Amino acid sequence: MTISLIKPSNRVAPAPKPLMSRDCGPAGCEVDWLTSRRHEADGDIEAFTDFSLKMGWGDGLPLVPPTDARVRAFLAQNDRYPDEVIAALPPTQVECTVEKIVINAVMAGAPPESLELLIAAVRAIAEPDFELYGVNATTAPVYPAFIVNGPIRDQLNIPYSYGCTGGAATKATAIGRALRLIMRNVAGQVPGVTSQTTFGSPGRIGGLLIGEWEERSPWAPLAERRGVSGNAVTSFGTMGTMNILDTTSQAASDFLEMIGKSLAYVGANCFSPSMPFCEMMVAINPICAEIIAREIPRIEDVQERLWRFASVPADLLQKRHREQLEAQGRVRKDGRIYATPEPKDMVMFVAGGLGGLHALGLHSFGSSLTQTKPIASPIPADKAQAAE
C-alpha cells in the first residue's frame, strides 16, 4: 500500500432549494411561513431551560424561548425565506431549513446579523468531504471549529486576539453555541443517543468560532489561500485545543521544530490505523508569525518545515500498532510516520494575543476534511423588498 493523499472529491452537497412559492416576499406574506411544531411552555428562562432539557433540546445552559415573535424578528432583519433548505445533515439527512437555523440561533442568543455566517457554516459541515456522519457518531470528542475571514469578523465582533478560543466576551460565543444547538437538534449529535463520544469536549457546548487576525498575518488570509476571498468561514473537525509553549526559541526553524514535535503525539488520530489520513490545523500568534515570515516568507515553505517536524519514528510505537501502520504503507523510507500525508495538509492561520509565546494546535478527527465557504452579504428584508 502507499500513502493515501488527501484530494477533495467531486461530491458536493445538494444545492439549497425553496419549498414554497416566493411570490409575496419573506416579510409580506399573509401565510404562516413558520412550519415548526408549536409547544406551550413557560416564558420564564429558567422554566424554559428545564422544559428544553425535558424535550431534549438543550445543552444545560439557559436558553431563550424561541417564540414566534422572536423568530420573526430575527428573520425580519435578514433576507431569507424560512423554508429555504440549506443542507441535509447526517445521520438523519433531514433538511436543515433557515427556520430551524433561526430557532436554534434565537435559543442560543445569537444576533440576527449572524444568520449568513450560520448558513455558511452549516453548508460547510454538510459537504460530503466534511464527513459529518463520522463526526457525529464517533467515540472521539471531535466538533467543528470555525475560522472566520473578512470584514465580517469585526462586524460580528468575532475574536481573533486575546482569548480568541475561549474567554473573550463577545456574542461569537452565542453564535458558536447556535451552531452547536443545530448540530444537536437538527444533525442529531446527542451524547449516548446518536453520538458515542466517550468524553465529549467543552467545545461541544459553546463551539469554537474565531477569526483570523489577517491584519497581523504576514501571509494571505486562510480562506483566500483556500480559494475564497472576503467574508468566508472555514470548518475543521477538531479534537480540541492544544497549547504549545515556547519561551526559548529565537529563529523560525526553532519555533517550527518545537510546534511540530509537540503536535506529533502517538495517541493522536493522525497516527491511528483507523484513519487513512488527517489534516492538522495550527494557529501561530502574530509575534511568532512575524519572526517566522522574516526568515521563511512563503507559507508553503513554513508548512513544509512544520510538516517535517510533525512526525514520529515508527519504532516509537508498540509493535502491534506499528505493524498495522506498516501494513497500510504509512511508514516512510526514512522510518518515520508523518502526521499528515503532505505539507499542504498542515492548515495554518494567524490569531492570538500579542503576548506571544504560545501556539495553538487543533488536531483533526481524520476523515473529516476542511471546508471553506463564502459568507453571503446580508441584505435586510426591507431593502430587499424595496428593490423588488
Partner 1 sequence: MARVMVLDPTATRTDDITSPGPDAGALAGKRIGFRLDNIWRSWDWISELWADKFRAAGARVSFWRCAGRSGEEGERMNRELKAFLETIDVAVVGLANCGSCTGWTIRDAITAANAGLPTTAIATKNFETFAHELAGRGGRSGLRVHVLPYPLNELARDEVMAIGEAHYQGVIETMGAHIAAKEAAE
Residues that bind partner 1 (CB under 8 A): 4, 6-11, 34, 36-44, 47-48, 56-57, 65-68, 71, 91-97, 99-100, 103-104, 107, 128-131, 133-140, 181, 185-186, 188, 193-197, 273-277, 328, 367-369
Which neighbouring-strand residues pair with 364? 238
Instruction: Tell me how far, at minimum, the Cβ of 26 lies from partner 1, in Å.
Output: 16
Q: How many other CB atoms sit within 10 Å of the CB of residue 2?
A: 7
Nearest to partner 1 of 93, 155 (CB atom)? 93
Nearest to partner 1 of 194, 385 (CB atom)? 194
With 0-12 / 13-18 / 19 or more C-beta atoms within 10 angstroms meaning exposed / middle / buried, residue 193 is exposed
Q: How many other CB atoms sit within 10 Å of the CB of residue 352?
A: 27
Instruction: Tell me how far, at minimum, the Cβ of 260 lies from partner 1, in Å.
Output: 23
| Residue 241, all three cell numbers | 485545543
Q: How many other CB atoms sit within 10 Å of the CB of residue 30?
A: 5
3-state secondary structure of 344: helix
Instruction: Tell me how far, at minimum, the Cβ of 330 lies from partner 1, in Å.
Output: 11
Nearest one of 304, 288, 310, 291 to 356, comparing CA atoms:
288
Nearest to partner 1 of 197, 217 (CB atom)? 197
Identify the H or E element spanning 261. helix 252-263
Instruction: Tell me how far, at minimum, the Cβ of 107 lies from partner 1, in Å.
Output: 6
Nearest to partner 1 of 139, 243 (CB atom)? 139
Nearest to partner 1 of 9, 21 (CB atom)? 9
Nearest to partner 1 of 18, 56 (CB atom)? 56
Instruction: Tell me how far, at minimum, the Cβ of 144 lies from partner 1, in Å.
Output: 14
93, 87 Cβ separation under 8 angstroms: no
Which neighbouring-strand residues pair with 87? 96
Residue 29 sits at φ, ψ, to 5 deg, of -90, 150
Nearest to partner 1 of 103, 147 (CB atom)? 103
Instruction: Tell me how far, at minimum, the Cβ of 122 lies from partner 1, in Å.
Output: 12
Alpha carbons 186 and 266: distance in angstroms, whole number: 34
Identify the H or E element spanning 305. helix 299-309
Nearest to partner 1 of 184, 305 (CB atom)? 184
DSSP 170-222: STHHHHHHHHHHHHHHTS---BTTTB--SS--THHHH-EEEE--GGG-SS--H
Say which DSSP state 343 is in. Answer: G
Instruction: Tell me how far, at minimum, the Cβ of 29 lies from partner 1, in Å.
Output: 17
| Residue 159, all three cell numbers | 475574536
Instruction: Tell me how far, at minimum, the Cβ of 173 lies from partner 1, in Å.
Output: 18
